[in-house]
Structure 1
């Protein structure tokens, strides 16, 4: 499949290798996490910096810069624990590009300051369209998150509401999986009927939220 491309001015291009030791120093990693860092990450490259001076878009109090990092991986597995370390060390919103053996995936942090509240990831080699335009960097960042949520058709919807709906969608999907497992294990007919009622209600809630997300 065609991978997403980054279309940014040359002033935003950094392409600077970042030693993994920098994150050890800043976050005082345990030996276990250091081992995970070296075992899962081949190379970290700071690819782009979106800031007032590089893209000419005004910063806000919530989003002063957006960084784009490329992580070359040693396995086709997104290392979320390591991303939390990187996000703790760097007080900016980060768009991640993951590369493994010619395949590409993307991720972004839902972040306040140094605290990563959630992560969004694409499938491997799934094309995404990133829109780097906006009246300020916060709006640019929100557009990037929307690309992962798949809410392009709901572009005028409140960003906080979209994020909350997406979190509710993920929660319901997890609950539906758990209920299906319980139903398979349940031996009593009456209990199975009760579980099925709950399952149907959860599925209806999920369809409603999916409609909300699609605008």
Structure 2
């Protein structure tokens, strides 16, 4: 999927906290196995809780769904962060987080940055559920477009607006569509794409005419369904 243009948000000073999160504390909370610990050692320099968006720090109302919104910065030792590291972190944290990834660029003092997050919410059974992750493109901090925080009256609307800024262009966000609806639609699209790819592979190998007709009918049905989701 094609990504939107990279950017950096300018967070209000009043939201800054800058609390270091020791890896050893995370290991205990995550019940991390040796493989996960090794990923932390190889890929993560440090983790800093940098911003909180709540009525205490911002002129905004709170909601039961999103009592506060957090920004946590992960400085990397490598070019990318394994997605299972983020998944483990999100599972261990009972709060919504926008992850800010930073990494050095070559031997220079330049820092590249991006944002990544999943849509995280509580299900009816009270357990946290996480969607797939959405990520902005990497950009150099000193050359990026600087954006203010999205305008929102409460923490839930702010969370949704920040997540929408990370969505790929192909997401085709519809007016008034919320993140629950967007993530469900994108998940259905991803499942359809898998089925379409599988049927096309079968068609390429199929020799029997009658079977090809049936497969083409199935393919056309799935393609029409895909258009409904777009």
Partner of 1:119: 132
Partner of 2:118: 109
Partner of 2:30: 27
Matched, 1:8 2:28: no
Q: Distance in 1 between matches of 2:39 and 2:207?
A: 42
CA, structure 1 residues 145+7, in 2 after alignment: closer, same or farther (shift >3 Å)? same
- Residue from 132, 151, 176 that aligns with 1:133: 151
Partner of 2:109: none
Which stretch shows the higher mean deviation, 106-115 or 43-52? 106-115
Q: Distance in 1 between matches of 2:73 and 2:208?
A: 52
Q: Distance in 1 between matches of 2:158 and 2:172?
A: 13
Give the structure with the higher percent strand: 2
Give the structure with the higher percent helix: 1
CA, structure 1 residues 78+175, in 2 after alignment: closer, same or farther (shift >3 Å)? farther
Partner of 2:94, secondary structure, is coil
Partner of 1:148, secondary structure, is coil
Partner of 2:166, secondary structure, is helix
Matched, 1:184 2:184: no
Partner of 1:204: 224
CA, structure 1 residues 157+193, in 2 after alignment: closer, same or farther (shift >3 Å)? same
Q: Distance in 2 between matches of 1:136 and 1:145?
A: 14
- Residue from 209, 214, 217 that aligns with 1:194: 214
CA RMSD of aligned residues (A): 2.8
Is contact 2:6–2:138 with CA below 8 Å preserved after alignment?
yes
TM-score, normalised relative to structure 1: 0.81
Q: Which has the higher contact order (CA 8 A, sep 6+)?
A: 2
Structure 1 residue 152: Cα displacement? 7.8
Is contact 1:146–1:152 with CA below 8 Å preserved after alignment?
no
Partner of 1:54, secondary structure, is coil
TM-score, normalised relative to structure 2: 0.77
Which stretch shows the higher mean deviation, 53-62 or 71-80? 71-80
CA, structure 1 residues 122+178, in 2 after alignment: closer, same or farther (shift >3 Å)? farther
Partner of 2:108: none
4+ residue runs over 6 A deviation: 126-130
